Amino acid sequence: MAKAGGDGVNAAGGTGGGNDSGYIAQLSSQLIANTTYQIPVEIQGNPKATFLVKVGPDCEIESVTLHRSSGVPGWDAAARRGIERTSPLPRQRDGSCPTELEIVRGPRDQQ
């Protein structure tokens, strides 16, 4: 499994593409582009939400489950919508799709 910088993305499945940092960067970029959220002034720091994402063989997202809340319901909902809008996910370099992803997002990852 690999982990990206600002957005955390762990990929499992496929044929080893989970360690492809180029794929992680591409996916992180798409997640940022597909997520909109106005950060309220009272939010301190960069609270992270963790999502478990199941992916089908066609790279379509089958489910998005909030595994750990950021503590900010509005951000959790915005991050979930951004993940859902990213379906279908890009294919890995070898043409496969990850079967499972763990995605960790914070509202300031957008900046």
Condensed to tens digits (0 to 9), the pLDDT of residues 43-69 reads 999 999 999 999 999 999 999 999 999
Q: CA-to-CA distance for 79 and 82, rounded, in angstroms?
A: 5
The residue segments making up the domain with residue 25 are 8-36+47-110
Sign of dihedral through CA atoms 61, 66, 67, 71? positive
Tokens of 90: 């890009």
**Considering its fold, how many domains does the chain have in total?**
1
In a domain, 63, yes or no: yes
| Residue in the structure block whose two tokens are 């993940």 | 83
In a domain, 72, yes or no: yes
Q: How confident is the model at residue 12 (pLDDT cuts 50, 70, 90)?
A: low
Give the other-Cβ count within 10 Å of 23's Cβ.
23
What CATH number is attached to the domain comprising 69? 3.30.1150.10
In a domain, 3, yes or no: no
